[in-house]
Structure 1
């Protein structure tokens, strides 16, 4: 379930260059608020209509070659356990390296689709040299150049054969899948235990790994949902860096497998840039979202605290300010079930289908009130609107010059759709098409 592709390999073989090519944006530079580039190692992309999450393991491995035994190995294992396809990157320029053989040893223990990506094969000569990597014992070798992009098409054709064609999973009929995500120590385990009863916490120590987040079918308070729980899953050997990496891999998997994500943040720490990166990913993935600010009982308050705090969050997550925010204390059982009710409401919003007649009646008035700006003397007329039969609420606006609709006007239409129809917590997509 889910579509996660991990790029592994020793340092300096070009993992990040390849990652940037797949994601199609220079991620590392993209979010330079407060200099956080550490958590920019995952992103969403698609190939021939199959969306997937890509993880570049490179940025997480610290230390030199002699620590392979501990840190790198653990990291590679986490990446392999948590992904659906593994891309093992090697370098045709420097040829076969002892560390490649170390990586191969770890990889061969897994029954997973593994493709050897022989990078820096810009010349025919280097492409032919890629053959030496057959000694690593894998049957699929793809010579590519991450720099120029040559060879990546064939590789990605092979990758998507092993993935689910549309992102996400067929939900149990009408039962929302809710994932509780957030950084370690924000209170996820306590929240899950409160929902499911204490005894649920001790079931996961099978040889130190659990492959899938635990799905619990939950019926209570007249609500029914499936909880995809990523909390409380800890490794016996807690290498500091690996724990962080592990929790990110876990979170990506949980997002892939859910309909709605409840993002928990610690009221004292506030929302971090990693939380925002994860929300953006969930948004790109078309998931419903709820923001749960936990440990609200620990904040000193006056009559303005709530509003000030909410404003800061809205500003930080903008333009995703349609996400409902709840201030909770799991410890004091404050607004905990309200959070679940909100998540279920968001799920219902996501399933919503607006009848075409109603949509046109409301939106044509909105458009008449504030028509799209003319472009170089062309008057833009939006003639007809319909909701598309997609997993994420999507709307097609048929008009005479779809290319000339400015971003600001798109935003206006999205805000109006949200105002008139309840899409709280749900990403929506707008498409402009020639009539």
Structure 2
């Protein structure tokens, strides 16, 4: 079994409340949406956890922002959501009432087999619910979900209806045990498909110089005795404002879904073009979902005779990815095969660290040693105390640290403990997360990744 990344897309006319609902869901206390220091990225998606059920929430209004008629604009949103999303939230405006555009899109959505939730927003109380819902009954869809994204009315009821759909996201993948799932990500034309072809040694995929050839995630199973790898090719992630093909608008969603399926994300950077802001965004996506990460500087053969350019590219990459200092960096060429042989031993090392478990006794000794070497500061007149620690999970390694005042632990000390755990446990190549809790079990925010 594996847990697929359930994608929930918000669609609807402008000003019906998509962004308000997005913000309300993504800013929940248990939503993993805190930005990683050092990376700028758009906020049109978020990983949300509701009642221990994770999903990816996407505000399509932020992604598909075209100068177009409202009807065509929303039709494209709906078509893209039907193609890419697992669950669709279609929002309508209860204050404005039913519009011809709503009718047209509902007719389109009724033909899909996806889970669609028809939501009438801006209903603030039960007293006005019946009156505002009445015009929408003529759509002939049920149930209609009354909601106030602004005030939260109806949200718990809506999400209670969504949870069974999230539970259905667990699917069988029929892969051999211990298969290493590798997702190849990056901007269009950076060489993802070519890299996979170089790895498998045969032309199994369409490889051209036309950016955006790969529209869907393509899986290839490779066995290199005694290990098995699932190679996931993804559509390139274009920089906003540079895309004319509407299908490319959701390429980021394909990448996000692929990340939900992989253990290790391999992000390709073009050695000739150098690192770009979009490259750092792609890397940021991998850390939003807590994936192990390897950075591949592809097309190194194009600058192999230019030592100055090599140094410039390496320094630019180091500066751009300071927020993921653990990520291995490889100089490779899909065309010549440079660096590919050295890649697989590193993948194995990263995979093992990503899934490694540790005895609680070892963790507690490490915590005591860290506190002894660097005493925690005072907080509100008393010394911070750390009682014990335990591993909560793997992929990535996640540890709970129980303290007397988690809110008083300064970011710098959180970072110190995270790095001490990383060094002491030999987790030098993967993200490590510490979660600080009070004895009562209440959570605080995760430490640095």
TM category, shorter: 0.7 to 0.9
Cα offset for 1:222?
Answer: 4.9
Cα offset for 1:280?
Answer: 3.0
Q: How many pairs were matched up?
A: 421
Equivalent in 267, 270, 292 of residue 266 of structure 1: 270
Q: Pairwise mapping of residues 342-361 of structure 1 onto structure 2 (< 5 A)?
A: 342-361=346-365
Contact 2:198 2:335 in 1 (8 A): no
Structure 1 moving runs of 4+ over 6 Å: 30-34, 165-171, 209-212
CA 1:265/1:167 → structure 2, altered by over 3 Å: closer, same or farther?
Answer: farther
CA 1:317/1:101 → structure 2, altered by over 3 Å: closer, same or farther?
Answer: farther
Give the whole-Å Cα distance in 2 for the aligned partners of 1:409 and 1:232.
38
Shifted more, 276-285 versus 84-93: the winner is 276-285
Contiguous gaps of at least 5 residues in structure 2: 208-212, 238-242, 440-449
Give the whole-Å Cα distance in 2 for the aligned partners of 1:292 and 1:58.
32
Cα offset for 1:32?
Answer: 13
Equivalent in 133, 137, 161 of residue 136 of structure 2: 133
Give the whole-Å Cα distance in 2 for the aligned partners of 1:405 and 1:273.
32
Give the whole-Å Cα distance in 1 for the aligned partners of 2:38 and 2:402.
38
Contact 2:330 2:343 in 1 (8 A): yes
Give the whole-Å Cα distance in 1 for the aligned partners of 2:75 and 2:244.
14
Equivalent in 81, 102, 105 of residue 103 of structure 1: 105
Equivalent in 10, 13, 18 of residue 10 of structure 1: 13
Q: Deviations over 1:276-335 (max 9, x none)?
A: 334333323222111222122334776565555444334433432222222222122111
Cα offset for 1:4?
Answer: 0.7
Asked if 1:321 is matched to 2:325, the reply is: yes
Partner of 2:115: 113
Question: Residue 162 of structure 1: SS of its match in structure 2?
Answer: helix
CA 1:420/1:390 → structure 2, altered by over 3 Å: closer, same or farther?
Answer: closer
Give the aligned CA root-mean-square deviation in angstroms: 3.5
Q: Pairwise mapping of residues 75-90 of structure 1 onto structure 2 (< 5 A)?
A: 75-90=77-92
Shifted more, 89-98 versus 99-108: the winner is 99-108
Contact 2:71 2:101 in 1 (8 A): no
CA 1:228/1:164 → structure 2, altered by over 3 Å: closer, same or farther?
Answer: farther
Give the whole-Å Cα distance in 2 for the aligned partners of 1:65 and 1:231.
27
Q: Deviations over 1:201-227 (max 9, x none)?
A: 259xxxxx9997333221126542112
Give the whole-Å Cα distance in 1 for the aligned partners of 2:38 and 2:438.
39
Give the whole-Å Cα distance in 2 for the aligned partners of 1:399 and 1:312.
39
Partner of 2:443: none
Asked if 1:245 is matched to 2:261, the reply is: no
Give the whole-Å Cα distance in 2 for the aligned partners of 1:172 and 1:134.
49
Cα offset for 1:229?
Answer: 2.3
Shifted more, 273-282 versus 74-83: the winner is 273-282
Contact 1:78 1:246 in 2 (8 A): yes
Q: Pairwise mapping of residues 179-218 of structure 1 onto structure 2 (< 5 A)?
A: 179-201=183-205, 213-218=217-222
Give the whole-Å Cα distance in 1 for the aligned partners of 2:382 and 2:66.
56
CA 1:125/1:434 → structure 2, altered by over 3 Å: closer, same or farther?
Answer: closer
Give the whole-Å Cα distance in 2 for the aligned partners of 1:344 and 1:375.
42
CA 1:308/1:129 → structure 2, altered by over 3 Å: closer, same or farther?
Answer: same
Partner of 2:446: none
Contact 1:184 1:247 in 2 (8 A): no
Asked if 1:414 is matched to 2:418, the reply is: yes
Shifted more, 402-411 versus 302-311: the winner is 302-311
Cα offset for 1:381?
Answer: 2.6
Partner of 1:122: 124
Question: Residue 217 of structure 1: SS of its match in structure 2?
Answer: strand
Q: Deviations over 1:85-126 (max 9, x none)?
A: 110111112111111122223212210110011112225436
TM-score after normalising by structure 1: 0.85
CA 1:103/1:344 → structure 2, altered by over 3 Å: closer, same or farther?
Answer: farther
Give the whole-Å Cα distance in 2 for the aligned partners of 1:141 and 1:67.
22
Q: Pairwise mapping of residues 13-412 of structure 1 onto structure 2 (< 5 A)?
A: 13-24=16-27, 39-59=42-62, 60-65=64-69, 68=72, 72-123=74-125, 124-125=127-128, 128-164=131-167, 173-201=177-205, 213-220=217-224, 222-231=226-235, 240-299=244-303, 306=310, 308-412=312-416
Contact 2:91 2:120 in 1 (8 A): yes
Cα offset for 1:66?
Answer: 6.5
Give the whole-Å Cα distance in 1 for the aligned partners of 2:141 and 2:321.
44
Contact 1:189 1:232 in 2 (8 A): no
TM-score after normalising by structure 2: 0.82
Contact 1:15 1:89 in 2 (8 A): yes
Contiguous gaps of at least 5 residues in structure 1: 204-208, 234-238
